[in-house]
Amino acid sequence: MRTALKAWLPLAVLASLVAGMVYLAAHQVLRQSANDPQIQLAEDWTDQIVGGTDANRLNLGSFIDPGRSLAPFGIVYDQDGNIIASSVSSPSTMKQPDGVFDTVDAAPTKTAQYTWQPASGERYAAVLRRATFDTASYYVLAGRNLRAVEERVQRVTWIITVSWAVTLVAVLVAQNMHLVGHLVRRKK
């Protein structure tokens, strides 16, 4: 039995590495695709401000509760981080953490994409861009609740974990069929 485990161990390690890489790839694809609508919205809203639209009058969509809705939402911050326009039902709870605006300012594209978890506990896929018109600077945020994406990640995690476990057992059994046959013959 010790010899069988020694032969199985390298294949188990390989199967584990493959399962881990599949998980990482699937997780990244699911999470990064959660940003797609927000990228488009943040770019469009930023372009409108740069084009002369008053940031206070920007059409950010219908008012929603982002903790309950999966619809994208928008928030415009002034250069000091104060909310000046929003499509969320309680914008005062949507302050940005320290350093986020500095990160946007330091980025070559003046954009940051991140997972944001305000005090409410909900998690959002967020895209924040800087917009400047004349002498005024703004930060335009487009966000969306990650609940549906995180549910998909959990399902993928479960599928990969079960597949990994089945693979480990199947490799062990296939590699040691002579032992299985011997045990079956012993029982007869």
Domain CATH for 114? 3.30.450
103 pLDDT higher than 80: yes
173 and 82 inside one domain: no
Is 90 exceeded by the pLDDT of residue 5? Answer: no
β-pair type (124-133, 136-145): antiparallel
Residues 64 and 83 occupy one common structural domain: yes
pLDDT digits (tens, 9 = 90+) for 152-161: 999 999 999 9
Report the pLDDT value the prediction gives residue 120, as an integer from 0 to 100: 78
Q: Which residue type, as a one-letter code, is found at position 59?
A: N
How high is the pLDDT of residue 53?
Answer: 92
**Is residue 150 assigned to a domain?**
no
Number of H helices, E strands in the chain: 5, 5
Average pLDDT in the chain: 89
Give the per-residue pLDDT at 14: 93
Indicate whether 22 and 76 sit together in one domain. Answer: no
